[in-house]
Amino acid sequence: MTFTSASTVRAFAEAFPEADLEDLPGVSIGPITSATMRELGVGIAAEADEHDLGGLVAAIRELLG
């Protein structure tokens, strides 16, 4: 699951209130989004080094090998 902002993390968590999100392999676009993921208990598999769409894609590619 990719998250491009803190608001997308919040919307996802609100849409699935009963889900255990800790094991979700979430990829964050940057540190603010990651902080919200941690706050809401969403697992962080990777965080983009460059906080834009290209950085997010690079983080996913690196994660997947």
**Into how many domains does the chain fold?**
1
Distance of alpha carbon 26 from alpha carbon 34, whole angstroms: 9
pTM of the model: 0.90
Taking 90 as the threshold, does the pLDDT of residue 23 lie above it? no
Taking 90 as the threshold, does the pLDDT of residue 24 lie above it? no
Tokens of 5: 């902002």
- Its domain, for residue 15, covers 2-64
